[in-house]
Structure formats: C-alpha cells, structure tokens
Amino acid sequence: MSAAPGSKGKVLLAYSGGLDTSCILVWLIEQGYEVLAYMANVGQEEDFEAAREKALAVGATKVFVEDLRRELVEELVIPTIQANAVYETVYLLGTSVARPVIARSQVKIAQQEGCTHVSHGCTGKGNDQVRFELAYYALAPKLQVIAPWRIPEFYQRFPGRNALLAYAAEKNIPVSQTPSKPWSTDENLFHISYEAGILEDPNVTPPKDMWKLTVDPEDAPNTPERITITFKEGKPVRVTNEADNTDLTDPLDLFLYLNTVARRNGVGRIDIVENRFIGIKSRGCYETPGGTILRAAHIDLEGLVLDREVRAYRDEHITPVFGKMMYNGLYFSPEGDLLTKMVPLTQTNVNGSVRVKLYKGSLTMEGRWSETETLYDMEQSSMDVQGDFEPIDSDGFIKIQSIRLKKWGAKFQN
C-alpha cells in the first residue's frame, strides 16, 4: 500500500525525462515523498520543455531546468584543459567534468525548496553514483540521498527494461516510441559517451551509426581546415578561421564553435577500456570534439612558453592527480580545492597562439607564437647563428653530468 504523498519528506530528483527517472519519480511518490524534478542543461540535445511537461504530468510538484553551460565551460572544462588532465592517459573526463556543476545546482535548489532528500537515477555499478553523492555530502552534509538502483526493493522489482515498461504502462507514464539503442549514452557540450549493451564485449567494433557527434573520419572533407587558437594564462580567449570568417572571443561561443569544426572533420573519437573508481573495468567509447582540439593546442603552446621545471613539476604532480580527482568525483574535497588553486599558478606564462590543421580525424599543429613570452630564443636555438650561447660552456656541463656515470660504469670494467 502506498504511503501518503509527502509524508516522508520532500525530495529533489535529478530527472532526465527518460524511462528510468520517470519511473523513479512515480515510485518515490508511491513511497510517500513529495517529488520535485530537476534538469540540468549542460549542452545535451534534449527537449527540456517536453521533459518538464512529462514530469508534471506524472506527479512532480515543481520542475526546475537550469542552464549550466557557461558554468561548465568556464569553471570546469577550461581548468581541466589548463591542467592537461586526462584519466589513464586517454580519457578526457567528459562525463566527470559535468558532474560538479550539476550536483552543486541540485543541492542549491534542494536547500532553497526545503527538501529533506535528493535523488538520482545512477546505476549501482557505475562511477556517477559516487560523483553525485560525494558532491552532495560535501556541499550539504545534512541532506539525505535516495539511490533507487541500490535499494533492493527497487532493483528487485525492476530487474530490466521490460519491468520498467510494464510499470510505466500501469501508471500511465508516457514512454517514447523510439526503439531502444543497444548501448547507453551520456551527453554534454564537452562530449558524449557510449557504453553497455553490445559495447560490453570489448572486441565488438562500434557500428558506424553509433557515433552521433562526429563525421566518420573516412567521410570527412578532402580539404584540410585551419584555425588559430589564442590563449591567455592558459585559457582560450580567441578562435579564428579565415575560411568561414569566424572570430570568437566569448568562452562559451568559441568552445561551441570548436565542437562544430571538430565534428565536421571527424576529430575527437576514442574507444577504450578503463578502470572505474569502484573497481570494475568498463569499455567506453567517447567523442570529445572541441576538447580534443583545445587540449592538443594548449600542450603545444606550453612547449614554447612554459618553463621546463614548472612544466615537469605540473606534469608529474598535478596533471595525473587532477585527472584522477575529477574522475573519482572528488572536485568538492580538500585535495580538489588545493588542485584547482594550483593549476592557475602554472599558467601565468601560457600566452600565445597556435595554428591548427584539421584533416580526416587528425590534428596537426602548423605553428605557434607568443608576443609576450621570450623563453624561446630563435638565435640561441639556431644551428647557424651562435647568438649569446658559447658552445664551449657545454663542455663543463657534460663533465659535471658524467661524474656519477663514470663511477657507475667503472664497476663493470675488468
């Protein structure tokens, strides 16, 4: 027997409009909660108005749709690019970077509305349950969390999609008539991910029609496209493309444009097996079009303008730790706070521009320059001009470096 709606408190549900969260919404009402629905616009292709109407139709007392795209780009995407952060050397953290802004906004609304609980539809085997809930607990320790896919009463009642469909029919929950694809996706303006279903076999080649964002590199234009990206303190501040008269300086606008140009040139696909935080290996396919361009251009410019030891320290002590922190959902943590404050200190001198060629899925850096940074000295580096570097000075340098090597090598001499 269902409890009276609202008798157990008020819950703000992270809602997508899909089958799972629509069923969760009705189930929570059955359990005695007043349910408010929350949707985050992080750049995914979604009919937010239709989802709002659906949530209200199935019992939500209020629906909140928050546009978080600018926050995502300025607060999470760009700092991640500044850190050159990846997870396990290849994953550009596309899902991970969106979770902090989504969770923060959900907590803020829950507190404003006097909610006692927050809820989500994350699976009990994935990373996102960890990312969301660690953020909830860090930002609002007194909020209670309802995770239906970890509640035996729920997951035993709904062991698969057919059970959810039957429940939806029983409760008059509108269900999309489009056939379910044999994989699951998560999308934001930084990337889209594909996993589960047929992709769980790591030896299955993804079908051509799976890839949603980027054109197949083999089908991309036969003519290269060239753009120029300008950075200030490691942040992209301008993108130009003479071919289509593009000249953008707004962070969100230029990032969306980089997505567009990368997509039409087939840039940004990867297919990997990764280690989830909870200890399970997972196969994932990702498209990160604009982010792939930005990270490659940023790394290239650092070669020109960043001090050797600062770069080495950052690469060893900040980049991998930042990536792991983001992947594991620890943005709102003491180490997350420390790392986000450290990254800008490494970027003071990352000022300049990079010329990038895009062609059939590939990126080539064709040139780079800086009008303010002078670490690179063309005369000093030249093999044809001596400049102010005296070659004889290298003699002493080599002798000093060889002292320990001579002692080590002497042990092996007869």
Residues known to be catalytic: 20, 99, 128, 184
Closest by CA to 158, choosing from 177, 144, 145, 171, is 171
Q: Positive or negative, the Cα torsion across 238, 79, 367, 267?
A: negative
Q: How far apart are CA 259 and CA 189, in angstroms?
A: 8
Distances (CA, A) of 302 to 73, 121, 156, 305, 365: 21, 40, 53, 5, 13
Closest by CA to 98, choosing from 235, 17, 190, is 190
Residue-wise burial string across 53-78, b where 16 or more C-beta atoms lie within 10 A, e elsewhere: ebbeebbbebbbbbebbebbbebbbb
Q: How far apart are the first and last CA of the chain?
A: 89
Q: How far apart are CA 123 and CA 133, in angstroms?
A: 12
Closest by CA to 330, choosing from 377, 389, 277, is 277
Question: Quick check: helix, strand or coil at residue 358?
Answer: strand
Element at 174 (helix H, strand E)? none
CB distance 107 to 115 below 8 Å: no
**Residues contacting residue 373 through CB under 8 Å, at least 6 positions apart:** 304, 305, 349, 351, 352
